[in-house]
Each structure stands twice: as C-alpha cells, then as structure tokens.
Amino acid sequence: MQNPIVEMDGDEMTRVIWKDIKSELLEPYIDLNIDYYDLSMENRNDTDDKVTLESAKAVEKHKVGVKCATITANEDRVEEFNLKKIYPSPNATIRAYLDGVMFREPIVFDCLNILVPTWKAPIAIARHSFGDIYVSKSFDVKEGDELKVTINGEEKYSYAPDYHAIFLTQYNKIESIKYFAHECFKHALEKKMDLVFSTKDTVVPGYDSVFKDIFNEAYEDYKGDFEKAGIRYDYYLIDNAIAKIMRSEGNILWALKNYDGDVMSDMISTVFGSLSLMESSIIGKDTYLYEAAHGTVTAHYRRYQKGEITSTNSVALIFTWASGLEKRGELDGNKNLNEFGIKLKKAVKDTIEAGFITGDLISTYNKKDYVKVNYLEFIQKVKEFLEKSL
C-alpha cells in the first residue's frame, strides 16, 4: 500500500470482530498502511471527543477511511462509562465534517429470500448526511414566555404560547443540498438505477420545497444521459413514494433527507435479509468513508463478556474493509490491492451461498442445508474461500 487508509476503531462486539477481521483476513495477505484512530467510548471521553474530529480530518487528508460501529452516548452510557458529559454521535460529527452523501445498498444473495416478493433488484438509499434535526436545537418554552426569531435584528417570527411547549430549530446548507442532488444523479447513472427523491413539501413548503426545487433543477443537467441509459427520475411526496416503492420491482436509488434516510435504510436492509447485509459509504467531493450500517451489537457483547462465542453477522464489517481496500487500490493505481478487495467480497458471498450462516440469516435462507456458525467460524470459512482465490 502506497498511501494509508484511515482506520476508526469502535465499540463492543463490533470492536471484537473488527480486530479478528484484521488479524485473519487482512494482515496475513497485505502489508497494511494504516492511520489509526481509537473511537471507543473510553477514548472519546479521555480526549474530550477531539479524536472524533481528528479522524474526520484524517479522512480529508488521506481520502479513504474505514469505520467500525461506535456507541452513541446517552444518559445510561454516561453512568456506564462514567462520562464527563453526553457526547454527540461520532457518526454525526464525521458526516457533518466531510459533508458528503451517504449511500446504503443491500448486499444481495440468491440464497436469501427478499421479504417483499415484488422486489427483483436492489433498492439503494442515498441519504443527505448533513443538517436537519441532526444539527437542531430544542427550546423549552413555558406559558407566558415569548419565542422570537430574528435575522440581523429584524424579527421574522414571534410566538407566545398559553401552554407549556417545546420548540425545535434546524437548518441545512444550500450548497450541501446542491452537492447531494448532483451526486445522486451521478450515482444513479453509474449504477443504472431509477432515481426517486421524496420529501413532504406540502407540509413544510418553505423548507422541503427548497430540496425539491434543487433536485428538479439538477435533473436538467442529467436528463439526456438518463434517457440514453433508459432510467428515469421522479419526485414523490414521501408517503406516496413508500407506496410506489413497495409495489415496484426494485432497481431504485431512493434519495432522502437526513432523518428519512436514517429510518428507511433500516427498513430496506431488513427486507433484503439483515441490517448486517448493508453496504454503507459516505462519499464527499474527493473523500470515501466506508462503515457498517448497524450498531455495536450490545446484546451479543454482553454474552461475549460472559464467555460466549456469539453467532454475530460480520458481513457488513468485512465489506467495510474490502471496500476501503478496493477504493485505495483504485485511487493509487494498485491493481493487486483493488482486486484483493473484490476477492474478499466474493469470499463472503461464497461462504453464505455454501450454507455457512449466522443465526440472523436462518429465517430467510432458502436452501435446505445450512450450518449455523459463530462469528469466529464464519471468518475462518471466509478465509478458506479467500485463499482459494489468491
């Protein structure tokens, strides 16, 4: 490796598996060049969360990063880890700094049933990774209080409730929305997928209509290419979009605002098998960050702490590393590294198609014979298939 990959280590069960992936599937075959950042809850607390921003800046510098799942602090975690305060979500911090577009696409297997019978092809999510409720501020306004919004001293809004209320303010950046729109059109063309964008502009016309208008304007730049590719762009209200997508055959890139994308990506991944079967990436102007779409698998970690070797699905974590290596090789002109990432992904698919699966996949597995394996056994099976291809 000529140039480093930024590694962001994580928490709990995913941290355990992350380490085993490196030692079993990467280090025996690659002389890794890593710029390492420990984003564990303990280290974020020790560094007053400075390490999170430092890791994002490192991705900006080196262009490619891989991220393990991390804990988002809440009151329970403050007590558990004796935290100095409730720190912001590391994902939100990193996404806001890189200001990219989050793409989430299911990892599809012939041997796993899709829970929506009409879907014959993947449905991917493009999630705007900046702003909205993730940069919001809430205000407790009591009866008799007056809330005012002013811009440069000019009062734009005033409200004095005769009841106890909670108010929320949020914002987004016009340039970020424009970048999001153009990246969605580019990605749809690259994947040859129909593009659907949806908001609720009838309810929030002064906010959501800005997103809608920007997408419609951007489409004019890509309309000819879309027609040549035989794909289409449509805007729908989000409730209508859900109904249409559920009845579709798939092959859709569904572009959504930040919160909507957060919610719908979990639904899409579940339909295609598991949240652990979802590729997730944040693509900036010239940065590429790959991560697992799922959390730290706390329930399995509690069992692991008691000595159990759990049947935890590691597919998304392996794909995170594979995609990072693949992209690093592509950018550096390192064909061997690029091909290794591709072969590692194939080894994962071969393992599952051969019937070696973790417990979460049993209910959707459509072959008669299978073997339920724990996370260590699964990694070893992937290693066997990988070595056959090298």
- Measured CA to CA, the distance from residue 52 to residue 98 in angstroms comes to 12
The DSSP call for residue 4 is P
pLDDT of residue 190: 92
> Is residue 367's pLDDT more than 80?
yes
Tell me, what amino acid is at 104?
R
Indicate the helix (H) or strand (E) that contains 48.
none
pLDDT the model gives residue 315: 97
Q: How far apart are CA 318 and CA 337, in angstroms?
A: 15
The confidence score (pLDDT) of residue 33 equals 98
Q: Please state the rounded mean pLDDT for residues 6-34.
A: 98
The Cα–Cα gap between 51 and 190 comes to 34
Question: Contact at 8 Å (CB) between 358 and 373?
Answer: yes
Model pLDDT for residues 298-333, shown as the tens digit of each residue:
999 999 999 999 999 999 999 999 999 999 999 999
Q: How would residue 30 be classed by pLDDT, with cut points 50, 70 and 90?
A: very high
How are beta strands 233-237 and 194-199 bridged, if at all?
A: parallel
Task: Quote the tokens at residue 87.
Answer: 């720190």
Topology given in CATH for the domain delimited by 1-103+284-390: Isopropylmalate Dehydrogenase (3.40.718)
3-state secondary structure of 150: strand
Q: Which two tokens stand for residue 348?
A: 């994962």
Tokens found for residue 299: 């329930």
Rounded Cα gap, residues 72 and 41, in angstroms: 8
Cα–Cα distances (Å) from 181 to 22, 219, 225, 283, 358, in that order, read: 36, 8, 15, 13, 37
Dig out the tokens for 294 from the structure. 């799922």
pLDDT grade for 288, boundaries at 50, 70 and 90:
very high
pLDDT at 2 over 80: yes
Whether residue 229 has pLDDT greater than 90: yes
- List pLDDT tens digits, range 100-130: 889 999 998 999 988 898 998 999 999 998 8
- Helical residues (DSSP H) of 307-365, grouped into ranges: 315-332, 335-353
- The predicted model gives 209-217 an average pLDDT of 98
Give the pLDDT confidence of 53-87 residue by residue, as tens digits.
999 999 999 999 999 999 999 999 999 999 999 99
DSSP state of 88: P
User: Average pLDDT over the chain, rounded to whole?
Assistant: 95
Q: Domain ranges for the chain, please list them.
A: 1-103+284-390, 114-130+173-272, 132-171
What is the rounded radius of gyration, in angstroms, for the C-alpha atoms of the chain? 22
Residue 238 has pLDDT above 90, yes or no: yes
Question: 25 CB contacts (<8 Å, ≥6 apart)?
Answer: 318, 321, 344, 379, 382, 383, 386
Give the pLDDT confidence of 142-199 residue by residue, as tens digits: 999 999 999 999 999 999 999 999 999 999 999 999 999 999 999 999 999 999 999 9
Percent of the chain residues past pLDDT 70, beyond the cut: 100
Place of tokens 């994902």: 91
Name residue 5's beta-bridge partners. 34
Q: What are phi and psi of 163, to 5 degrees?
A: -155, 165
In contact, 7 and 27? CB cutoff 8 Å: no
Q: Average the pLDDT over 224-234 and give the result.
A: 97
Whether 347 and 385 have beta carbons less than 8 Å apart is answered as: yes
Give, as one character, the DSSP assignment of residue 112.
B
Residue 179 to residues 79, 275, 303: CA-CA distances in angstroms? 40, 27, 43
Res 342 pLDDT > 90: yes
CA nearest to 112, candidates 322, 316, 366, 323: 366
Total H helices, total E strands in the chain: 13, 16
Q: Look-up: residue for tokens 């108010």?
A: 167
At residue 198, what are phi and psi to the nearest 5 degrees?
-145, 140
pLDDT tens profile 34-56:
999 999 999 999 999 999 999 99
Partners of 106 in the β-ladder: 278
Residue 92: which pLDDT band, with cuts at 50, 70 and 90?
Answer: confident
